[in-house]
């Protein structure tokens, strides 16, 4: 017996649909299929369409909400610098004598500076955290910092005998709702 489904969108026993997932969902949900076929069709629909779509939606939604939640609130910036061989002391001197003051001039508050305890990294790595009023403030501060003539002179002078900085890693962060910082 052939199942009477509009436009012959489903061939009984074959599992084949020749319509869009939305139309397929409407046929299933409106009860145009016998109960046994409805259950199988609903399982297939959930497995092949709804669950991946839900996962995609939740993933994008979480990223969008995280981005929105960072707007207009305090942002911390974790930076890890790797000095070129033999230049960690020069990098420390540049931060100690110039960079921290220029950061402050552009609204970039230093939370702290650290060196790793790992012996393989201790000889060439500087880690620090900056505090910014917001992500927008961070972006504006870095633009102003890089364009600052004093910074340009300091960078040029500290690199006169070769680059002292070999690599930079950066991560922007916001505090969780349970962080002691809040």
Rounded CA-CA distance 148/141 in Å is 10
Please, what are the domains in the chain?
A: 6-69 (no CATH), 75-173 (3.30.70.100)
Q: At what angle do helices 21-29 and 35-45 cross, to 10 degrees?
A: 140
Query: Which pLDDT score is estimated for 18?
Result: 59
> How many separate helices (H) and strands (E) can be counted in the chain?
8, 6
Across the range 2-17, mean pLDDT stands at 51
For residue 159, pLDDT beyond 60: yes
Rounded CA-CA distance 27/32 in Å is 6
Residue 32 buriedness (CB in 10 A; 0-12 / 13-18 / 19+):
middle
pTM: 0.61
Residue identified by tokens 């364009």 is 147
Rounded CA-CA distance 141/151 in Å is 13
Q: What percentage of the chain reaches a pLDDT higher than 70?
A: 61
DSSP state of 47: I
pLDDT in tens, 61-94: 555 444 544 557 999 999 999 999 999 999 999 9
Residue identified by tokens 């981005």 is 67
**What's CA 58's distance to the chain center, in Å?**
15
pLDDT in tens, 137-154: 999 999 999 999 999 999
Q: What angle do CA 142, 161, 127 make, to 5 degrees?
A: 40
* Residue 139 near residue 149, CB atoms below 8 Å: no
């Amino acid at each position: 017996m052939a199942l009477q489904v509009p436009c012959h969108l489903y061939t009984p026993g074959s599992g084949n649909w020749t319509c869009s997932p939305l139309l397929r969902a409407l046929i299933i949900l409106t009860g145009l299929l016998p109960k046994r076929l409805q259950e199988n069709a609903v399982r297939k629909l959930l497995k092949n369409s709804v669950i991946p779509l839900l996962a995609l939606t939740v993933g994008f939604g979480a990223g969008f909400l995280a981005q929105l939640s960072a707007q207009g609130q305090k942002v911390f910036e974790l930076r890890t610098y790797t000095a070129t061989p033999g230049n960690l002391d020069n990098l420390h001197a540049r931060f100690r004598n110039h960079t921290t003051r220029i950061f402050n001039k552009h609204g970039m508050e230093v939370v702290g500076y650290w060196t790793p305890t790992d012996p393989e990294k201790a000889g060439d790595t500087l880690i620090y955290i900056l505090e910014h009023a917001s992500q927008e403030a961070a972006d504006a501060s870095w633009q102003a910092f890089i364009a600052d003539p004093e910074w340009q002179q300091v960078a040029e002078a500290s690199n006169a005998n070769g680059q002292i900085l070999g690599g930079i890693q950066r991560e922007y962060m916001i505090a969780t709702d349970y962080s002691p910082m809040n």
